[in-house]
Amino acid sequence: MTEAWKSSLPSGRKLVLLSLCDNANDQGECYPSIAAVARRCGMSERAVQGHLAALESAGILSRLERGGRSNLFTINPRRICTPAESAPPQNLHPIPAESAPPTPAESAPITIIEPSLNRHLKHQGANRAEMSAQIFGLTDVTPEVLTDFVALRKAKKAPLTATAVKALRVEAEKAGMTLDAVLSLCCQRGWTGFQAAWLLAGGGAASAAIQVKKSGRHSGFEKLDYNEGISADGSIN
């Protein structure tokens, strides 16, 4: 590996040789596939084949075809330091930094991993919901519910407004529900708005849930008859 770094081979040929040296054992033998070398060097398989042929012609490596398996390459370290016949003559004058050829690392293709689109959209929706919570004072709504409700209204081209929030609060109080519960119900049913009458008129479990929510330990006293057991003169029977 050290001799390969010191060699005066052209950059592409040198990069392929370094890849082989990195995989070689103590006897200088390795058997990587052409595709694997191409991936590591950031070049096409055809280019790798050309560099391997040049290295083989220079006696730097020998190739043994094994029929149905990857070739066995044997590196000759004594020939690495000998400049190849096709290598350009060394330039004794320093090359300015601006015109210096790129190093293999600089010329290799750069892999950029794009962020997940779903993750980006989810993050964007959370930010929009957070802004809505601050603008309209929706501190009594859980972030998850608010994110879904804001996304629902956006999908139906009905941006959330102060007027809409005020109307939702009024109808939530009429139904005896929290605003968080109302918005959660809207998300489940695809509603951009809410009216308590929708649930009361619909009856069923939804209406019963509202009635149960309205009732409690300190409710229902209006149905009691407080005159029961008391005579006209005020005495207790």
Is there a single domain that holds both residue 143 and residue 198? yes
Angle at which helix 117-136 crosses helix 143-155, to 10 degrees, equals: 100
Q: What is the pLDDT along the chain (237 residues), one digit of tens a residue?
A: 677 777 788 888 888 888 888 888 888 889 888 898 899 888 999 999 998 999 888 888 888 888 778 888 998 888 876 554 444 555 555 555 555 555 555 555 555 444 444 554 455 556 767 777 777 888 889 999 999 999 999 898 888 888 999 999 999 998 899 999 999 999 999 999 999 888 766 554 444 444 444 444 555 555 555 566 666 666 665
Please tell me what DSSP assigns to residue 83: P
Q: What is the pLDDT of residue 126?
A: 66
Instruction: Tell whether 136 is covered by a domain.
Output: yes
Q: What is the pLDDT of residue 137?
A: 83
Query: Which residues are CB-contacts of 63 (< 8 A; sequence separation ≥ 6)?
Result: 52, 56, 71, 72, 73, 74
d(CA 213, CA 60): 86
Query: Which residues are CB-contacts of 32 (< 8 A; sequence separation ≥ 6)?
Result: 19, 20, 23, 70, 73
d(CA 40, CA 49): 14
Instruction: Tell whether 50 is covered by a domain.
Output: yes
Is there a single domain that holds both residue 154 and residue 66? no
Instruction: Tell whether 223 is covered by a domain.
Output: no
Instruction: Tell whether 94 is covered by a domain.
Output: no
Is there a single domain that holds both residue 138 and residue 205? yes
Q: How many domains does the chain have?
A: 2
Domain that holds residue 18: 2-82
Is there a single domain that holds both residue 124 and residue 212? yes
Instruction: Tell whether 233 is covered by a domain.
Output: no
CA distances from 6 to 58, 81, 82, 88 (A): 16, 7, 10, 15
Q: What is the pLDDT of residue 213?
A: 46
Q: What is the pLDDT of residue 212?
A: 41
Q: Which residues pair with 73 in a beta bridge?
A: 30, 63
Q: What is the pLDDT of residue 209?
A: 47
Provide the 3-class DSSP secondary structure of residue 149: helix
Instruction: Tell whether 104 is covered by a domain.
Output: no
Is there a single domain that holds both residue 211 and residue 121? yes
Backbone phi and psi for residue 9, each to the nearest 5 degrees, phi listed first: -70, 155
Q: What is the pLDDT of residue 136?
A: 80
d(CA 208, CA 214): 10
Please tell me what DSSP assigns to residue 206: H
Instruction: Tell whether 57 is covered by a domain.
Output: yes
Please tell me what DSSP assigns to residue 186: H
Instruction: Tell whether 106 is covered by a domain.
Output: no
Is there a single domain that holds both residue 145 and residue 209? yes
H-type helices in the chain, by residue range? 2-6, 11-23, 34-41, 45-57, 104-107, 117-136, 143-155, 162-174, 179-189, 196-202, 204-214
CATH code for position 7: 1.10.10.10
Burial category of 199 from C-beta neighbours within 10 Å (exposed 0-12, middle 13-18, buried 19 and up): buried
